[in-house]
A and B are shown apart, each in its own frame.
Chain A
Amino acid sequence: MSLSAHDKELIVKIWTKIGPKAAQIGGDALGRLIVVFPQTKIYFSHFADLSPCSPQIKAHGAKVLGAIGEAINSIDNVSASLCKLSELHAYNLRVDPVNFKLLAHTLLVSLSASLGAEFTPEVHLAWDKFLAIVASVLSEKYR
């Protein structure tokens, strides 16, 4: 699976569009993750507040989407751009890769909620493919 030129165009266009709202969308996505898939709270057991409106959850969600933004800036070489994060997830965090799919889903939900009709089926397709690539890169070094 690879991104077509059109996919990349749509991904970048939407990333530019969400602009300063990216932090809020990231926070929303992580908040949804811990509510809809409560087993994911295990990775945040060091946070004092594990409700979806927790400032720690919102800040961490913003950080995650920020990293995804960095990958978009190097969309022709996602592997290189996420290299350090790939190592972090593999050797330190050891997040079960199944969770990348769960977060991809809640991120698509947050994007859809924020963009409404602009989150067209083609935009949905491009972002679904891109997040699957990110998940794959992050799991690369696991074993």
Chain B
Amino acid sequence: MVHWTEEERCTISTLWDKIDTEEVGHQALTRSHLVVYPWTQRYFSTFGNLSKPAAIAGNPKVRAHGKRVIVALGDAIKNLDNVKATYAKLSELHSEKLHVDPENFRLLGEALIIVLAGQFGAAFTPAVQATWQKLLSVVISALSSKYH
């Protein structure tokens, strides 16, 4: 079981309360999957026009999906002491149905950190970053747990 200090729990929830799930999700998905690592577009072949950064930014399916991902992150935050069980079904979905290479979880995680830094500036201190990177590595591990 992952051990969280009171300070870490507080750091996570303080930032989480300030996050606009739709905006952050949209930014992170746009950056990681669609612009910076364009080959990941293969997972979104039903999303329509992803040909240019401007098209991606304006695509409503991208926006909706980004929000969904961050809302799911909220589930992990509400269940910090049992992220693995919380994500069991999502892990199966990504492994059995979506066939997403787990490397993509890491890329999205990195992009999310960069988006949070852009939003919160100096308030996103090294210590806050370290706590959120720990959270994301727990999430990534849980999402990868049902892969064989």
Contact = CB atoms under 8 A, between A and B. Distances in A.
Nearest to B111: A124
Given A121-B30, A128-B36, A109 B130 contact: no
A83 to B, nearest CB: 28
Interface of A: 31-32, 35-36, 52, 105, 108-110, 112-117, 119-122, 124-125, 128
A116 B36 CA distance: 17
B133 interface: yes
Interface stretch (B66-74, B92-100, B116-124): B116-124
B77 interface: no
Nearest to B56: A121
B8 interface: no
Contact of A113 (B31, B36, B124, B133): B124
Contacts of A114: 121
Nearest to B123: A113
7 contacts: A36-B133, A109-B129, A113-B117, A113-B121, A115-B118, A124-B31, A125-B36
Interface string B26-38: 0000110011100
A46 to B, nearest CB: 21
A31 B31 contact: no
* Max chain A C-beta neighbours (<10 A), residue from B30, B56, B129: B129
Contacts of A121: 30-31, 34-36, 53, 56-57
